[in-house]
Chains A and B, each alone.
Chain A
């Protein structure tokens, strides 16, 4: 149930036939976990909080660095050296006091991932490395969670929703079956990234989460959105679930904990 204050706060959502009171109540009772409070995580988190997602989890083991400020819009100069997860919690709680925010000031490992994921319905991956991306994807499949994944390269972004419908939709591994080496696919610190790109992709990640929760529109499942901010070409590339690849996903918690994702 929405309180009087919430009805007023979310009035612009309540006016939308695709959201309405029912949709807003679903947002309120939903639980979304964001991995990485970086370029993608910051805008995604801001919009999720503003939208009234009832419980938001933030996983990030890093502190704010001055090179983050060009694109990680939740941080300012005075935050340098402080825990990203903690700063984000403070700022989001100020933005929306009606929601619950949990922080995990830690790096994800095969030991802690399943425990952290268990309390959430939707996982949002905004990490900056392949080891974590494959681990997050496998954990999402194992625990039957939908995964919204975004990634960046300079002026180009990729976005897709994996494992939707749960247990039926294509996964990250169906798209890219095995991790490349670091030299082949370096992160933003090695290649550079335009600040507005994570702003765009991260916002769309939050949008997919809102659609998943409210049931509005079409989900970007089985499709990879490839966005080029230089040409403004946005295209959707179709792909399918690959049963052979699915077999390589650990099928039990025990098998997951024995996986080595540090291969890159």
Chain B
């Protein structure tokens, strides 16, 4: 049961990597809780989550092979 997680923009700096794999996470709420407890600096950062290239607004069940992206807004122009 492995979930692929991708971090975009400045979030990758905080996590120290563009991507990681996590096991034993059943849904996006528990994934978010785990990631934030591992990287408390993420707390308060603005970002949205996408599961398999679709932005989610409510908790979603996760299954092996799912890809979760942490997407912050960019300011630069």
Contact A238/B54 with A153-B9, A178-B46, A226-B8 known, Cβ cut-off 8 Å: yes
| Sampled A-B contacts (5; CB under 8 Å) | A128-B77, A130-B73, A153-B75, A184-B10, A185-B73
Please tell me if the beta carbons of A176 and B75 are within 8 angstroms of each other in the complex: no
Nearest CB to that of B12 among chain A residues?
A156
Any A CB within 8 A of the CB of B48 = yes
- The B-contacting residues of A in range 152-194, CB under 8 angstroms, are 152-154, 156-158, 175-176, 178-180, 182, 184-188, 191, 193
In Å, the complex CA distance between A152 and B76 comes to: 4
The stretch of A6-14, A37-45, A92-100, A108-116 in contact with B is A37-45
Please tell me if the beta carbons of B75 and A186 are within 8 angstroms of each other in the complex: yes
Q: Contacts of B46 on A, CB cut-off 8 Å?
A: 176, 178-180, 184-185
Any B CB within 8 A of the CB of A125 = yes
Contact of A235 among B48, B53, B74 (CB under 8 A): B53
Please tell me if the beta carbons of B10 and A237 are within 8 angstroms of each other in the complex: no
Please tell me if the beta carbons of A151 and B71 are within 8 angstroms of each other in the complex: no
Q: A182-B75, A226-B71 are in contact. List 16 more A-B contacts (CB 8 A).
A: A40-B77, A128-B77, A133-B73, A153-B9, A153-B72, A157-B74, A175-B55, A176-B46, A178-B46, A179-B46, A180-B46, A184-B10, A185-B73, A185-B74, A185-B75, A226-B8
- The A-contacting residues of B in range 1-27, CB under 8 angstroms, are 8-10
Q: Contacts of A125 on B, CB cut-off 8 Å?
A: 77
Please tell me if the beta carbons of A191 and B76 are within 8 angstroms of each other in the complex: yes
- The A-contacting residues of B in range 38-67, CB under 8 angstroms, are 44-46, 48, 50, 53-55, 57
Contact A236/B53 with A178-B46, A185-B10 known, Cβ cut-off 8 Å: yes
Q: How far is the CB of A190 from chain B (nearest CB, A)?
A: 9
Contact of B76 among A175, A179, A184, A187 (CB under 8 A): A187
Contact A176/B76 with A156-B8, A237-B54 known, Cβ cut-off 8 Å: no
- The B-contacting residues of A in range 108-159, CB under 8 angstroms, are 125-130, 133, 150-154, 156-158
Please tell me if the beta carbons of B72 and A185 are within 8 angstroms of each other in the complex: yes
Please tell me if the beta carbons of B77 and A130 are within 8 angstroms of each other in the complex: no
Q: How far is the CB of A148 from chain B (nearest CB, A)?
A: 12
Nearest CB to that of B55 among chain A residues?
A239
Please tell me if the beta carbons of B74 and A151 are within 8 angstroms of each other in the complex: yes
Q: Contacts of B44 on A, CB cut-off 8 Å?
A: 184
In Å, the complex CA distance between A231 and B46 comes to: 24
In Å, the complex CA distance between A262 and B57 comes to: 26
Q: Contacts of B10 on A, CB cut-off 8 Å?
A: 153, 184-186, 191
Q: Contacts of A40 on B, CB cut-off 8 Å?
A: 77
Please tell me if the beta carbons of A36 and B55 are within 8 angstroms of each other in the complex: no
Q: How far is the CB of B46 from chain A (nearest CB, A)?
A: 3
Any B CB within 8 A of the CB of A198 = yes
Contact A184/B53 with A152-B77, A178-B46 known, Cβ cut-off 8 Å: no
Please tell me if the beta carbons of A224 and B76 are within 8 angstroms of each other in the complex: no
Q: Contacts of B50 on A, CB cut-off 8 Å?
A: 237-238
Q: Contacts of A158 on B, CB cut-off 8 Å?
A: 73-74
Nearest CB to that of A127 among chain B residues?
B77
